[in-house]
Amino acid sequence: MSIKDIQLDPNRIPKHVAIIMDGNGRWAQKKGELRIFGHTNGVDSVREALTAAVEIGVQYLTLYAFSTENWNRPQQEIAALMDLLVQSIYNEIDELNNKGVKLETIGDVEILPKSCQNALVDAKKKTKDNQKITLILALSYSSRREISHAIQKMTKEVVDGNLKSEAINEDLISSYLSTANYPDPELLIRTSGENRVSNFLMWQLAYTELYFTKILWPDFKKKNFYKAIFDYQKRERRFGKTSQQILDNNV
């Protein structure tokens, strides 16, 4: 299927797409290369997904780039990933500005190496006024950690007398998460054939459509992104209602 064959409905473009970019290591190993070769090639796929998202008017793209659990990988791979992050930010900054991309992050960015933090601070500053799309990199991110932090903050405010426990509801919890300024994703894509969430946006994904593909991340191109959107557009989002209710509301 080529991009031309994919007819997307411009009225049903998801506002927010999240991606678990998985399979870099296996992609490299299949080619007899080191795992980092897969990560390096994965950067091209990031560019493709971002370009595709901008082209169809997605407003938020969240990419799972490094999980809290990924700190348990071999030191050498972690160091190579961090170097790649710094290099990619410096290489892509002009392109991000050309495309109108605002860069933001979620996760414990303050525990990344200083060089990464500096590159991120710089890129965020240089792209802060861009309005076409917000690219959110999840770095040293874990959903359970994020929720634990939110509970800690709320508890402290209750103890200090600044928050009533009865005021804690779904909206308030959402507002204490690092994603407070973003709508929940309508679509989650995970590559590489793994059918799991791996501690990613667990609160935010409550009603997200899940799209799993066997394609390894470095092979994931613009047309694959469009295919995922096309698949999403065929789905009926019922939010607990019946199919008939959804049909009645749409006429």
Residues lying near ligand IPE in the complex (CB under 6 A): 20-26, 64-67, 70, 81, 192, 194, 196, 198
Q: Which residues of 182-207 are buried (b: 16+ CB within 10 A; e: fewer)?
A: bebbbbbbbbbeeeebebbbebbbee
Catalytic residue list contains 22? yes
Say which of 44, 70, 108, 130 is annotated catalytic.
Answer: 70
With respect to ligand IPE, which residue has the nearer C-beta, 196 or 238? 196
Q: How far is the CB of 228 from ligand IPE (least distance, A)?
A: 16
Task: With CA atoms as reference, report the closest residue to 187 among 219, 225, 147, 240.
Answer: 225
Query: Does residue 22 touch Mg ion according to CB under 5 A?
Result: yes
Cβ closer to ligand IPE: 44 or 157?
44
State in angstroms the smallest separation of the CB of 77 from ligand IPE: 8
* CB 84 within 8 Å of CB 39: yes
How far apart CA 188 and CA 171 sit, in angstroms, is 21
162 catalytic? Reply is no
Q: How far apart are CA 88 and CA 97, in angstroms?
A: 14
In the sheet that holds 60-67, the strands lie side by side as: 101-106, 133-141, 60-67, 16-20, 187-190, 209-212
- Residue 67's binding partner, choosing from ligand IPE, Mg ion, none, with beta-carbon cut-off 5 to 8 A by kind? ligand IPE
Q: Which of 9, 11, 22, 248 is catalytic?
A: 22
Q: How far is the CB of 82 from ligand IPE (least distance, A)?
A: 11
* CA 31/CA 37 separation, integer angstroms: 9
Closest approach, Cβ 181 to ligand IPE, in A, equals 22
36 is a contact residue toward Mg ion (CB under 5 A): no
Q: Which positions are catalytic?
A: 22, 70
